[in-house]
Homo-oligomer: A and B are copies of this chain.
């Protein structure tokens, strides 16, 4: 059966944040992400698969599946080359418990706006066992279809929260949780003592971390270029910088655990 116009219009609307917020739904595409969402217990509202996909993968899926043609899939897909399966899932409501922040590593994102960067950072967080990412409301929306796809499934495991940093930062400070910021004027990350837990704050693609939030950082770190001192590029991409800081913090934590 062909897809109704209403359904097509609804799915297409989920490209807009306003429509996602109103409906509480987001779109994910591809066998990997869809099966990971199902396994992770996400509520799947609608599931569309081609005959091929249903024949190969759908045996153990309990959600109602609507079999659609490749032409219909093309109409609802946000990908240049549509996959075999697309789902509409409910946006989860994650609870944030700031006081746990002392016992784990988390990320603060000050207005990372590029969906590709946001997705890549969620994927990095997943790799490094980071459960929570707290973003300013102006940051890219984690349930934007482009972000969901760029996470390669990490969105099923990492909790992305949005909060007003004006009240958040003093609260983290009051709890005495370390906040690590990166800055071109910071200390060489490899020559600085670092806490094992706390928040890493990363900033906007062109403006970096807002000076108002930098005030709350307990360490300002610099990722050294090479050869040191010889400045060439002005900075690293925000996702790349996030990865280098996370990698170094986890390297130390693993080394310490192995020493015990």
Contact with B along A70-106 (1 / 0, CB 8 A): 0000000000000000000000000000000000000
CA gap between A226 and B256 in the complex, in Å: 13
CA gap between A237 and B154 in the complex, in Å: 12
Q: Confirm or deny: A137 has a beta carbon within 8 angstroms of a beta carbon on chain B.
A: no
Contact with B along A199-238 (1 / 0, CB 8 A): 0000000000000000000000001111110101111110
Using known A-B contacts A226-B128, A227-B129, A244-B243, determine if residue A123 contacts B236 with beta carbons closer than 8 Å.
yes
Contacts of A234 in B (CB 8 A): 152-153
Question: When the two chains form their complex, are residues B126 and A233 in contact, meaning their CB atoms are under 8 A apart?
Answer: yes
Q: Confirm or deny: A17 has a beta carbon within 8 angstroms of a beta carbon on chain B.
A: no
CA gap between A108 and B203 in the complex, in Å: 30
Question: When the two chains form their complex, are residues A232 and B120 in contact, meaning their CB atoms are under 8 A apart?
Answer: no
Using known A-B contacts A239-B237, A243-B236, A244-B243, determine if residue A225 contacts B190 with beta carbons closer than 8 Å.
no
Question: When the two chains form their complex, are residues A247 and B250 in contact, meaning their CB atoms are under 8 A apart?
Answer: no
Question: When the two chains form their complex, are residues B190 and A233 in contact, meaning their CB atoms are under 8 A apart?
Answer: no
CA gap between A154 and B236 in the complex, in Å: 11
* Contacting residue for A129 out of B127, B129, B152, B226, CB 8 A: B226
CA gap between A126 and B226 in the complex, in Å: 9
CA gap between A12 and B17 in the complex, in Å: 32
- Which of A154, A224, A251 has the largest count of B CB atoms less than 10 A from its CB? A251
Count A interface residues, CB 8 Å.
Answer: 37
Question: When the two chains form their complex, are residues A123 and B233 in contact, meaning their CB atoms are under 8 A apart?
Answer: yes
Q: Confirm or deny: A175 has a beta carbon within 8 angstroms of a beta carbon on chain B.
A: no
Contacts of A124 in B (CB 8 A): 236-237, 240
Q: Confirm or deny: A259 has a beta carbon within 8 angstroms of a beta carbon on chain B.
A: no
Q: Confirm or deny: A255 has a beta carbon within 8 angstroms of a beta carbon on chain B.
A: yes
CA gap between A254 and B188 in the complex, in Å: 11
Q: Confirm or deny: A35 has a beta carbon within 8 angstroms of a beta carbon on chain B.
A: no
Q: How far is the CB of A84 from chain B (nearest CB, A)?
A: 15
Q: Confirm or deny: A157 has a beta carbon within 8 angstroms of a beta carbon on chain B.
A: yes
Using known A-B contacts A233-B154, A243-B244, A247-B247, determine if residue A190 contacts B255 with beta carbons closer than 8 Å.
yes
* Contacting residue for A232 out of B127, B224, B248, CB 8 A: B127
Contacts of A239 in B (CB 8 A): 120, 237, 239-240
Residue of B nearest to A119 (CB): B237
Contacts of A126 in B (CB 8 A): 232-233
